[in-house]
């Protein structure tokens, strides 16, 4: 009888273990499969609220473009001589064009026009003129004329002022 009792206990333990492991395996398989027999739960309110906050609208994170506000020191002017006619001791007539170089590190605002006032030195009389700058382009007179006292006189251009037009 003792032997029979031990066998029954052993069979019971094995049956219990097999049932537990088998039930766990079936539960694991079912959790991966959709439940096709389940009815959708009825809601008691007309509008169900989500259990998480809705995604926020994303804002553009484009960096703001920074433009440089130019000063007279940001520009360099050079003189390109187009024609020079000299009359001995009477001096020379010089036809020239001003060429502009921008020395600034940041770009200029392409939507703003600046007026640059300059002076030509080295002539018999000083000559003051202006040119316009918009973004990376500028407009200047095709040619200007000045008289010099000697053929050795050199013309230079100096920036006097830069202002928004």
User: Cα-flanking dihedrals φ and ψ of residue 157, to 5°?
Assistant: -120, 135
- pLDDT value of residue 54: 59
Sequence spans of domains, the chain? 1-34, 72-164
The predicted model scores a pTM of 0.61
Place of tokens 């006189």: 153
Contact between residue 155 and residue 107 where contact means Cβ atoms under 8 Å apart: no
Tokens of 122: 């080295």
- pLDDT value of residue 87: 93
Neighbours of 134 (CB within 10 A): 15
Distance CA 19, CA 32 (A): 20
Indicate the helix (H) or strand (E) that contains 90.
none
* pLDDT one-digit tens code per residue, 47-92: 655 555 555 656 667 788 889 999 999 999 999 999 999 998 899 9
- At the top level of CATH, the class of 72-164 is mainly beta
Question: In the predicted model, is pLDDT for residue 40 greater than 60?
Answer: no
Indicate the helix (H) or strand (E) that contains 157.
strand 156-164
* pLDDT one-digit tens code per residue, 98-144: 999 999 989 999 999 999 999 999 999 999 999 999 999 999 999 99
Question: In the predicted model, is pLDDT for residue 149 greater than 90?
Answer: yes
More confident position, 87 or 18: 87
- pLDDT value of residue 39: 52
């Amino acid at each position: 009888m003792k032997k029979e009792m031990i066998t029954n206990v052993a069979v019971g333990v094995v049956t219990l273990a097999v049932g537990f492991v088998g039930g766990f395996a079936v539960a694991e398989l079912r959790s991966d499969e959709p439940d096709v027999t389940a009815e959708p739960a009825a809601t008691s309110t007309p509008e169900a609220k989500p259990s998480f906050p809705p995604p926020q609208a994303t804002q553009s994170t484009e960096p703001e473009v920074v433009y440089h506000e130019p000063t007279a020191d940001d520009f360099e002017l050079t003189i390109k001589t187009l024609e020079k006619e000299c009359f001995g001791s009477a001096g020379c007539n010089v036809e020239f064009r001003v060429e502009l170089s921008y020395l600034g590190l940041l770009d200029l605002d392409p939507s703003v026009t600046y007026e640059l006032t300059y002076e030509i030195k080295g002539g018999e009389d000083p000559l003051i003129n202006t040119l316009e700058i918009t973004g990376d382009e500028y407009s200047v007179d095709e040619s200007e004329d000045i008289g010099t006292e000697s053929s050795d006189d050199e013309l230079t251009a100096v920036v006097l002022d830069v202002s928004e037009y």
